[in-house]
Amino acid sequence: MIHSDGTKPIYVQIAEWLETEILNGHFKVDEKVYSQYKLAEMFTINPATAAKGLNILADEKILYTRRGLGKFVTNEAKEIITDKRKNQKLKGLLDEVALEAEQLHVREEELFSMLKESMEKRKGDAK
């Protein structure tokens, strides 16, 4: 789950992992998330690194802090995460796809049909 191959800092990976847990409904609104120490133990990482991951989410208003109790999921958490992933991650992936398509001279229609195929395949897999 956590890769130390250097492609992404560990604290970013921790933040993204927690986001996915929130999106999947493993942590609900006003529920307490794992502490920095629990995360450190789970992933064998330094607790200061885990704290950085939690702080990113707090800065983005995905988590809020209750002094002495820990960090909790905000009301808007899911919305913020979905919005962020659409605008950053998905858009970034699409930029890469566009670049690759350009280099391979793949035309728009062909690309659209490939995307459609992928989406249908996923639907099939989910069944």
Partner 1 sequence: MNVITCEGLKKNQRKVRALSDLSFTIKENTITGLIGRNGAGKTTLLKILAGFWRESSGEVKVFNQHPFNNLYVSANTIYVDDQMSFPASLTLTEILQEAEVFYENWNGKLAKRLFDYFSFHPEQQHENLSKGKKSTFNMIVGLASRCALTIYDEPTTGMDAAVRKDFYRALLRDYLEYPRTIIISSHHLDEVEDLLEDVLLLQDGSKCLHLPIDELKDYAVGLTGRTEMVRQWIANKEVFHTNNIGAGTTYAVVKKEGIPLDNARQLGMETTSVTSSDICVYLTDQTKGGIDDVFK
- The rounded distance, in Å, linking the Cα atoms of 44 and 14 is 12
What would the x/- binding string for partner 1 be over residues 85 to 114, using CB under 8 A? ------------------------------
- How far apart are the C-alpha atoms of 122 and 26, rounded to whole Å? 22
Q: How many C-beta atoms lie closer than 10 Å to residue 11's C-beta?
A: 20
- Please say which residue, 23 or 101, places its beta carbon nearer to partner 1: 101
Q: Which of residues 24-63 bind partner 1 (CB under 8 A)?
A: 37, 40-41, 43-49, 52
CA-nearest of 50, 52, 15 to 23 is 15
Query: Which of helix, strand or coil describes residue 12?
Result: helix
| Min dist. Cβ of residue 58 to partner 1 (A) | 16
Both tokens of residue 44? 């064998």
Residues 5-24 that bind partner 1 (CB under 8 A): 5-11
User: Which helix (H) or strand (E) segment is 20 a member of?
Assistant: helix 10-23
Please work out the total of residues on this chain that contact partner 1, with binding judged by CB under 8 A.
20
- Judged by beta carbon, residue 48 or residue 90, the one nearer partner 1 is 48
Q: Which residues bind partner 1 (CB under 8 A)?
A: 2, 4-11, 37, 40-41, 43-49, 52
